[in-house]
Amino acid sequence: MKQNEFDKKVNRRNTNSLKWDIKDNEIPMWVADMDFKTAPAIIKAIEKRARHGIYGYTIIPDIWYESIINWWKNEHQFEIKKEWLQFSTGVVPAISSIVKRITNVGDNIVTLTPVYDIFFHSIENANRKTLESPLVYENGAYHIDFEDLENKLKDKKTTMMIFCNPHNPIGKIWTKEEIEKVGHLCNKYNVVVLSDEIHCDITDMDCSYVPFASVSDECLNNSIVCISASKAFNLAGIQSAAVYCANEKLRKIIVKGLNSDEVAEPNCFAIDTIVAAFNDSKDWFMNLKQYIYENKQIVKTYLKENNLPIKLVESKATYLLWLDCSLVSKNVSKFASFLREKTGLYLSDGKVYRGNGTNFVRMNIACNKTQLNKALRMLKQGVLLYKKIG
């Protein structure tokens, strides 16, 4: 039988990898990049570009726009117009730039917590205030507290909401109804929505995400959306993303901002990789989705069969699992450090995501099954040891 390409071990040590530049005995399953080689068509495109030997300034050709527009049309049934799109050197650079252009020093920016921690950096480094609307955690699942959200949006100092769709770290795909309500409330209180959709492609096989701007005219005309190929195709280091905005007035402001902040120009590999990803890598991507889905089932089964006192939050998107460890420890940060120190398993401490993240760890399962199974054994060993001496 042909070996599954995702089963292959790729050694990332000594490659200046943020994730893997750690001790030899450690297994990193924290930061959100994958331990899989990207799609063959992308590697080929980069090799071709590299062989050319001249790495000068790069323009953004029509094919870049077309590849994005077609991917969203085919995969997400949403039509992005060419004139809405703007290149950016990453989603985080775009968010930081947009926060500075759309809001003022001292304004509130609302987020649903727990959420991707870098949002807080983009907000607070710019001297704006994070206003958390904590998600409600009930029976192992999260939902929005719309009454609390409305109160936060109503505040005169609130001018923006950063929405994570699907939501990192809980892996939730927001429904059309939920998005419609969020969009309506933001519109009612003149709060601009910045929807970060970087995780939109990796979902379970039987479902797909709902683009924020696709839901209603209110959502379309009052949102700025960040998208990227970097999660689905493992291209974070290529530093390329896109922002789209249907509202011309808002768009003019953000385009000027992205240019003034010097985050609007591609490096010489950025265009070819995106085109190869969205135009020529669909089969690879479908196999990846299947593999990640299988990995999720492995974790679920392992936790159950081994009776570990850890609850997996049901999720339909991302390769990040959100593990409720409140029965293991009253101090999950301490447990996360203990786990790393005693077993070598390096997970993300949920505290950084705020909200009720203090009871959780986040586990990145985008790795081969041999590593995943090893990590699960380390997790079990860590729990048992922690119960004894932690």
Ligand X SMILES: Cc1ncc(COP(=O)(O)O)c(C=O)c1O
The smaller minimum CB distance to ligand X, of residues 49 and 231, is found at: 231
| Least separation in angstroms between CB 31 and ligand X | 7
Closest to 313 in 3D by CA, of 138, 178, 146, 133: 138
The smaller minimum CB distance to ligand X, of residues 72 and 353, is found at: 353
| Least separation in angstroms between CB 226 and ligand X | 7
| Least separation in angstroms between CB 113 and ligand X | 13
The smaller minimum CB distance to ligand X, of residues 230 and 343, is found at: 230
The smaller minimum CB distance to ligand X, of residues 198 and 375, is found at: 198
Applying CB under 6 A, the residues found at the interface with ligand X are 32, 90-92, 116, 164, 168, 196, 198-199, 228, 230, 236, 241
| Least separation in angstroms between CB 202 and ligand X | 11
| Least separation in angstroms between CB 126 and ligand X | 16
The backbone torsions φ and ψ at residue 386, rounded to the nearest 5 degrees and listed phi first, read -65, -40
| Least separation in angstroms between CB 235 and ligand X | 9
The smaller minimum CB distance to ligand X, of residues 96 and 329, is found at: 96
The smaller minimum CB distance to ligand X, of residues 30 and 386, is found at: 30
168-178 residues labelled b (16+ CB within 10 A) or e (exposed): bbbbbbbeeeb
